[in-house]
Amino acid sequence: MIFFRLAVILITALFAATACSPSPATSNKLVIGIGSTLNLGNNNPVFIQRNANVWETLTELDDTLTPRPGLAQSWEVSSDGRQWTFHLKRGVTFHNGDRLNSRLVTANLLRMKNHPELDYYSTFSSLVSAVPKDEWTIHLEFSSPVVDLPNRLGHYFAGVFSPRAFGPDGKLDRPIGSGPYIYSQSRIGQYDRVTAFAQYHGVKPHFGEIEFKIIGDPAVRIMSLLRGDIDMIAHHGGVPPSYLDMLKDRRDIVVAAQDVAITHYLLFNCARHPFSDPASRDAFSRALDRHELARLILHGSGIAARDFLVETAVRWNRNRFSLLPETDEPVKRQLAALGKGNALTLLLSQGDASSWSYRHTADYLSDYFAKLGVSIRIEMLESGAWQKATQAGDFDLTLYPLSLPTGIPDLLVRRLAYSKGMQVRSIGNTTHYASAPLDALFEKALNAPNVSAHDQAYHSLLDLLAEEKPFVPLYHERYYYAYRQGLTGIHIDPFLKMDLGAIRFAGERE
């Protein structure tokens, strides 16, 4: 808090110096301030994050998390969910001159099949064949149903690249995609740069170069925008809510918000007393005041969660949780029993605490439950140590953010409830929860022969999770970003991606 107050004083002092600062001259370069690099390295299947607009996917998830055409303009599925036919968009060129066709897409799909360590969501584990039927049509056959395939082809690790970029191990030597911008270079701790692709098949990009300037400190990001050193603050972290009041009265700055597909969860260690007892988890969850947390602590940066997944995911929401606390006699008795034991350890990752203001949330939970007779001790570890501690079960509670990359609950279940965890990435489920009925429901959903059976299995699974509570949702993320007055064409999707090709200064021609 001392650091925050100093930052507030410093930024306020800068107002006088920046109040009359002219907007930077319209140029061929756009500078976006980000909290961390977009470069994921070649151990990652896509090399650079989708926000860079370098690569595209066969499908895209819209604002309701529904799959829409991307590089695939249409598709059909057999009645048993095992055979898919995709029809590709025509006239798409990659950054090295390759053309989108069925052979290129086949090579991309087989890359995932042959290198399962790159197939983060095990989409192609049951792929039997991928056969080009003609130049623009590809036929896929699976050994088991994959009725949610269009959802799985639109997430942020499902990029389509020129096969010339593939190394013998399937990793990318360079991300040669078909997006409106070409990856140029990265400097560790300084920037990532992309340049315009003149042959882009969609709206031609306006800016010749976009620099993602890495500014980890949110206070410095704010100051850079006020000084005119950058044109926009976007990507993870954005504008922390604590700084909104310092920007909203600036006529030269536009502040906007977007509800994104990220939910923040409270995780219980289901393998250690006291939360190995479902009754303890239930009482703790029912005592939560999600409404007060969102109102007093989040200051508009979060929406109190009524269900496991974001509100735009209407397909899955059934209001399984109350926003207000329930403190009936059974809850009070269970909390009293919790209060008789040692202080509970609430473990935080420094990385998450910095990105998501988890320290404030943890302090609130500690104070709130102290009034109910339950002592909570907060411990913060660097990200690697936190990962080891949670996998070893050395905690009682922790906070964890999770997105909804496919628009379906598969990642949520694998990461936090499925007893086998995320096998392809050798990650166990963080809650140490194990349930044969849940595992069976999850595998039933994965192998459902049609969408109806798929959704029914997932709803039964979510109902079971709401009853067992190995983890509970606290709030959904509301993301704030800011940009210089005069920029137009800015829209951020639920996954924080902007169409960079559509951005320009008002009055400038396409």
- For the chain, list the domains and their CATH numbers: 2-41+179-252+485-505 (3.40.190.10), 55-165 (3.90.76.10), 260-477 (3.10.105.10)
Whether the CB-CB separation of 194 and 209 falls below 8 Å is answered with: yes
If one compares 19 and 440, the residue with the highest pLDDT of the two is 440
pTM of the full predicted structure? 0.89
CA angle 493, 496, 502 (to 5 degrees): 60
Query: Quick one: 479 exposed, middle or buried, by C-beta within 10 A (0-12, 13-18, 19+)?
Result: buried
pLDDT number for residue 424: 59
Task: Tell me the angle at which helices 278-286 and 329-339 cross, rounded to the nearest 10 degrees.
Answer: 110
Q: What is the mean pLDDT of the chain?
A: 91
The DSSP element (H or E) to which 75 belongs, if any, is: strand 72-77
Beta bridge partners of 59: 69
Which range has the worst mean pLDDT, 311-315, 362-366, 425-429, 482-486?
A: 425-429
Task: Determine the Cα–Cα distance for residues 469 and 366; give it in Å rounded to an integer.
Answer: 20
pLDDT number for residue 136: 98
Predicted confidence (pLDDT) per residue in 178-201, tens digit: 999 999 999 999 999 999 999 999
Give the closest residue to 441 by CA, choosing from 466, 417, 460, 414.
460
| Residue 498 scores a pLDDT above 60 | yes
Compute how many other C-beta atoms are within 10 angstroms of the C-beta atom of residue 70.
19
Task: Determine the Cα–Cα distance for residues 186 and 205; give it in Å rounded to an integer.
Answer: 20
| Residue 414 scores a pLDDT above 70 | yes
The DSSP element (H or E) to which 362 belongs, if any, is: helix 358-370
Average pLDDT over residues 481-485: 95
pLDDT number for residue 425: 58
**Confidence at 1, pLDDT banded by 50, 70, 90:** very low
> Residue 416 half-sphere exposure, CB side, CA atoms within 13 Å?
28
**Confidence at 426, pLDDT banded by 50, 70, 90:** low
Please report the sign of the dihedral spanned by the C-alpha atoms of residue 445, residue 450, residue 456, residue 462: positive
| Residue 5 scores a pLDDT above 60 | no
Task: Determine the Cα–Cα distance for residues 197 and 208; give it in Å rounded to an integer.
Answer: 8
| Residue 321 scores a pLDDT above 80 | yes
Average pLDDT over residues 416-435: 84
**Confidence at 510, pLDDT banded by 50, 70, 90:** low
Percent of the chain residues topping a pLDDT of 90: 82
pLDDT number for residue 131: 97
| DSSP-derived secondary structure for 255-278 | EEEEEEEEEEEEEE-TTSTTTTSH
Most confident of 1-5, 23-27, 129-133, 153-157: 129-133
Please report the sign of the dihedral spanned by the C-alpha atoms of residue 237, residue 243, residue 245, residue 251: negative
> Residue 216 half-sphere exposure, CB side, CA atoms within 13 Å?
7
DSSP 240: -
Whether the CB-CB separation of 218 and 35 falls below 8 Å is answered with: yes
